């Protein structure tokens, strides 16, 4: 079998606490306790993630998925067992190769666009999309799926206990993870500077963001699932959460003015796909923060009716 890349950039930003960068596509996290290790998320599916994790630890692995989007569950088939909120089940895991490939190409194109023409002649990422991103082999087993619920705790040994909290908004069953020993909150896509609320009413998202805020004495930084909102290994800037909360409050109060935004990738890239426009969304901006949401899905009570208020 062709060897898949393991050349992920990795940074140990706290003791036994790693951010693993899937080539600008997504960030995975590895928390190593004295008895077990926890992997949070499985990226878009480029390369041999499990092999890379095994370079860092030989402890039995607990694999948790913050939410089932293509860039967070891509490599689940490399693992024997995963924990995920049941609200995230019901769609492919991983997503079809075509979807994951399209997003992967766009991220790589964005990087080239940022760096400039002289560099486009070099191979910027240590993977080959035709080799390292693939459909699971037909004989690959699905991992055993365990249900992840709000408040669930995982004991990694040596006093390292990780608690999962449900924070719907970006996805219906989005989960965040608090490691009190290192005072680290891993937020998946529940919080960042360009928040897409496509999985739950804004009112539910606000509840989730307030939950993250209520834990603030127990962490000293929030690390989200993509490092294009912050330096690699560094937490989100402290203004991200309070600004997102204020913006959700304003949406609920009807106090907002939509803005025109560039595409979700932030750069013009020479790749387009029919129907790719996010026509469903309304976007508002405050400083560096933007939030995109559905005007038909602001209030929890309207969820079933899908009506406006
Ligand atoms: Fe996502
Ligand atoms: Fe994501």
Q: Kindly identify the ligand whose nearest atom is closest to the C-alpha of 190.
A: 1
- Gap between the Cα atoms of 216 and 212, Å rounded: 7
Q: How far is the CA of 22 from the centre of ligand 1 (A)?
A: 15
Q: Strand 184-186 to strand 222-223: parallel, antiparallel, or no bridges (unpaired)?
A: parallel
Could you say which architecture CATH assigns to the domain 10-113+129-191+203-235?
4-Layer Sandwich (3.60)
Q: Which residues surround ligand 2, an ion (CB under 5 A)?
A: 71, 189, 225
**Helix boundaries (H) for the chain:** 49-56, 97-115, 129-132, 202-214, 240-252
User: 189 CA to middle of ligand 1, Å?
Assistant: 5
* Distance between Cα 135 and ligand 1 center (Å): 20
Q: How far is CA 260 from CA 100, 106, 284, in A?
A: 26, 21, 8
Q: Are 292 and 286 in contact (CB under 8 A)?
A: no
287: left (phi over 0), alpha (psi -120 to 50) or beta: left
Least distant ligand from the CA of 103:
2
User: Which ligand sits closest to the CA of 67?
Assistant: 1
DSSP output for 275-295: T-S-TT-EEEEETTEEEEE-T
Instruction: Read off the tokens for 265.
Output: 């990738």
Count Cβ atoms below 10 Å from residue 171 Cβ, excluding itself: 24
- Looking at the DSSP bridge assignments, the partners of residue 175 are 166
The ligand placed nearest to the CA atom of residue 68 is 1
Tell me which residue of 217, 210, 279 sits closest to 244, measured CA to CA: 210
Contact 42, 65 (CB under 8 A): yes
| 225 CA → ligand 2 middle, Å | 6
pLDDT for the residue numbered 93 = 95
Task: Quote the strand ranges of 106-256, DSSP E.
Answer: 144-147, 153-155, 161-166, 175-179, 184-186, 194-196, 222-223
pTM value?
A: 0.93
Take residue 194 and report the two structure tokens written for it. 């360009």
Report whether 44 contacts 22 (CB < 8 A): yes
* 308 alpha carbon, distance to own chain's centre: 29
Closest CA to 205 of 187, 223, 179, 185: 187
Q: How far is the CA of 118 from the centre of ligand 1 (A)?
A: 32
The whole-angstrom separation of Cα 78 and Cα 74 is 9
Per-block mean pLDDT, blocks of 10 residues, the chain (309 long):
90 98 97 98 98 98 98 97 97 95 87 67 86 91 97 98 98 98 98 96 98 98 96 98 98 94 57 53 93 95 49
| In the chain, where the domains are located | 10-113+129-191+203-235
How far apart CA 100 and CA 28 sit, in angstroms, is: 16
Distance 280 CA to ligand 1 centre (A): 16
């Amino acid at each position: 079998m062709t060897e898949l890349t393991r050349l992920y950039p990795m940074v140990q930003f706290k003791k036994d606490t790693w951010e693993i960068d899937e080539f600008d596509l997504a960030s995975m996290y590895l928390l190593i306790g004295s008895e077990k290790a926890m992997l949070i998320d499985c990226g878009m599916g480029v390369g041999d993630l499990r092999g890379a994790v095994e370079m860092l630890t030989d402890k039995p692995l607990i694999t948790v998925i913050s939410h089932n989007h293509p860039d967070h569950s891509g490599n689940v088939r490399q693992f024997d067992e995963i924990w995920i909120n049941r609200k995230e089940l019901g769609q492919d895991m991983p997503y079809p190769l075509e979807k994951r490939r399209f997003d992967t190409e766009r991220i790589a194109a964005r990087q080239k666009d940022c760096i400039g023409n002289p560099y486009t002649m070099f191979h910027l990422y240590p993977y080959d999309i035709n080799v390292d991103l693939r459909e699971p082999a037909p004989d690959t087993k699905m991992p055993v799926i365990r249900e992840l619920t709000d408040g669930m705790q995982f004991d990694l040994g040596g006093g390292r206990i990780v608690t999962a909290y449900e924070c719907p908004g970006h996805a219906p069953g989005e989960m965040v993870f608090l490691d009190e020993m290192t005072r680290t909150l891993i937020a998946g896509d529940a919080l960042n500077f360009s928040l897409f609320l496509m999985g739950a009413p804004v009112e539910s998202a606000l509840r989730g963001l307030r939950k993250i805020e209520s834990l603030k004495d127990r962490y000293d930084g929030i690390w989200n699932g993509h490092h294009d909102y912050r330096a690699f290994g560094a937490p989100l800037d402290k203004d991200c959460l309070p600004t997102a909360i204020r913006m959700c409050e304003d949406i609920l109060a009807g106090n907002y003015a939509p803005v025109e935004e560039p595409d979700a990738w932030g750069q013009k890239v020479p790749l387009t796909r029919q129907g790719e426009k996010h026509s469903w969304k309304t976007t508002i901006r405050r400083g560096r923060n933007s939030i995109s949401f559905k005007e038909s899905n602001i209030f929890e009570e309207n969820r079933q009716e899908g009506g406006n208020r």
